[in-house]
Amino acid sequence: MKRWIIWGFLPLLLIWATSVAWLHYQAVQAEKASQNIKPADIAVILGNSVNRRGKPNPCLRSRVEAGVALYRQNKVKIGRAVQQECRTATAATKRQPCNLWR
């Protein structure tokens, strides 16, 4: 009985280890690919929800931080229309939604 449990568990452990190794490999390849980004005129940052306190959730925060990092690396530009929209939003909400871009 014990052998059956051990030999039944071993393939599951092997599948799990293979999956973890594959995910790690994919993450390393994605990291390498992201370092070779060519400059572009615009970047599209997909939105996400904020939490109940009005703060961005981790997914939204990481997306915005990635966009800011691309801007700071001169991979994307901010046009005048975007800058004007940022100023308008700042004036309307009395917050600083674009303070990461400075």
pLDDT for the residue numbered 88: 65
Q: Residue 91: helix, strand or coil by DSSP?
A: helix
102 residues of the chain, pLDDT tens digit each: 677 777 778 889 999 999 999 999 999 988 887 777 788 877 788 877 788 888 888 888 888 888 888 888 888 876 665 666 666 655 555 555 555 444
Q: Which helix (H) or strand (E) holds 102?
A: none
Nearest-CA neighbor of 45 among 65, 29, 16? Answer: 65
